[in-house]
Amino acid sequence: MNLPTLSELEAASRVVYAAMPPTPQYAWPLLSARCGARVVVKHENHTPVGAFKVRGGLVYFDWLARTHPEVRGVVTATRGNHGQSVGFAARRYGLRAVVVVPRGNSPEKNEAMRALGVELIEHGLDFQDAVEHAGRLAAAEGLWRLPSFDALLVQGVGTYALELLRAVPELERLYVPIGLGSGVCGVLAAREALGRTLEVVGVTSAGAPAYARSFASGRPESHAVTTQVADGMAVRTPDPEALALIQRGAARVIEVTDAEVEAAMAALFVDTHNVAEGAGAAGLAALLREREANLGRPVGFVLTGANVDAVRFADVLRRHCGQAAMESRSS
């Protein structure tokens, strides 16, 4: 798979902006002080579904409606944000949307998908089980099998990176969480399209390290998922095309622990009053891990989503907010 070109990213932007405005990028003073650098946050938590995935869904469904008008319904698998993207876009284009999630998935993400008109099916123990069941449903019910990673999805989500890099051309390093890979590949596409020298650092959960381990070994490696907080990165098996693009374009892929992610969620709330789900705060967790290397530099991360269950977020704040506030005052 080739990365989208500048003309393709700009065409995708026109599709996206018909449904939503660009999201902001802010350098929050308290957060920058905490990190010892000028830190720019790309706020994909400000989209209509609270996550970056909606961009890919809009672009994919625009293509589907133009090229396959006979399609009346789609099926896909998700842990939540991709499913909300599908629900949002399917409603806009008048299509049926069936989404498979693993058992024990976020109750609030499930309800958000249902509110968008999604027919939700719970199946299996993890994302990979859900993916395989979605494939069986496509064959059994004649539904269009909508992938979780695809060139059109990359083209769509790459529009946020185009916004960011045009707004902050001096950015030197960007931390991007990796789920199945569309977000980081979209960043790589925008960097190449604009001819920038930005260093892109992929971030995975230590409890879902398949992409980090695969990046290190140079070949796809499956790995068990144990993360309890970063469900947006809870991927057991890398997509080979995504991995190839990440190996070609990312500087490195690092792992962050659940404790580091929770601390970053609390820090974001203390310093900016923004809510971040686990995957959404992973970029900050990685930036803080590499604080010494970032001192005084213009760096950033993508707050990819805000869709965390209220009870879980309240527990994170209860356990980490005091420490985060003390660190903020001492920065």
The DSSP code sequence of 219-232 is S--------SS-GG
Name which of 19-28, 124-133, 183-192, 258-267 the model is least confident about.
124-133
Overall average pLDDT of the 33-55 stretch: 97
Choose between 126 and 269: higher pLDDT.
269
- Mean pLDDT, residues 231-238 taken together: 90
Q: Are 304 and 279 in contact (CB under 8 A)?
A: yes
Determine whether domain 6-52+151-330 maps to CATH 3.40.50.2300.
no
Rounded to whole angstroms, how far apart are CA atoms 63 and 86?
13
Nearest to 302 by CA among 232, 244, 243: 232
Side-by-side strand order, sheet with 119-122: 119-122, 96-101, 73-77, 144-145
The reported pLDDT for the residue numbered 331 is 66
Specify whether the CB–CB gap between 116 and 87 falls below 8 A: yes
Tell me the CATH architecture of domain 54-145: 3-Layer(aba) Sandwich (3.40)
Return the SS3 of 286. Answer: helix
Q: What is the pLDDT of residue 79?
A: 81
Looking at residue 275, what is its pLDDT? 98
- Provide the percentage of residues in the chain whose pLDDT is more than 90: 88
Q: How far apart are CA 62 and CA 88, in angstroms?
A: 12
Q: How many whole angstroms from its chain centre is CA 281?
A: 10
Strand partners, 247: none
What is the overall mean pLDDT for the chain? 95
CA distances 14 to 59, 200, 227, Å, are 9, 25, 36
Report pLDDT digits (tens) over 136-161: 999 999 999 998 889 999 999 999 99
Residue 329: pLDDT over 80: no
Statement: residue 330 has pLDDT above 80: no
pLDDT digits (tens, 9 = 90+) for 105-121: 888 889 999 999 999 99
Query: Cα 266 to chain center, whole Å?
Result: 19
pLDDT at 234: 87
Structure tokens at 46: 């400000």
Distance, CA of 269 to CA of 256 (rounded, Å)? 19
Specify the length of the chain in residues: 331
pTM reported for the whole predicted model: 0.94
In the chain, list all ranges with CATH 3.40.50.1100: 6-52+151-330, 54-145
Residues 6 or more apart whose Cβ sits within 8 Å of residue 292 = none
Mean pLDDT of 94-107: 93
Count of CA atoms in the C-beta half-sphere (13 A) of 160 = 33
Question: Which among 238, 230, 244, 246 has a CA at the least distance from the CA of 210?
Answer: 238
Report the sign of the C-alpha dihedral through residues 220, 225, 227, 232, in that order: positive
How large is the average pLDDT for residues 170-178? 98
Band of residue 173 on the pLDDT scale cut at 50, 70, 90 = very high
pLDDT at site 126:
83
Is 328's pLDDT higher than 80?
Answer: no
Residues forming a β-bridge with 201: 175, 252
Residue 302 has pLDDT above 70, yes or no: yes
Of 67, 58, 62, give the one whose Cα is nearest residue 89.
Answer: 58
% of the chain at pLDDT higher than 70:
100
C-beta atoms surrounding 36 within 10 Å: 15
Residue 155: the pLDDT is 98
Confidence bin at 134 (pLDDT 50/70/90): very high
What pLDDT sits at residue 325? 76
Residue 283: name the closest of 16, 29, 45, 3 by CA: 45
Instruction: Read off the pLDDT of each residue in 55-80 and give the average, rounded to a whole number.
Output: 94
Give Cα 89 to chain centroid, integer Å.
17
pLDDT average, residue stretch 69-85: 91
Burial class (CB in 10 A: 0-12, 13-18, 19+), 68: exposed
Give me the helices (H) in the chain, please. 6-17, 29-35, 54-67, 81-93, 107-115, 127-141, 151-167, 182-194, 210-217, 240-249, 258-272, 278-289, 291-294, 310-330
Q: Do residues 136 and 167 make contact, with C-beta atoms less than 8 angstroms apart? A: no
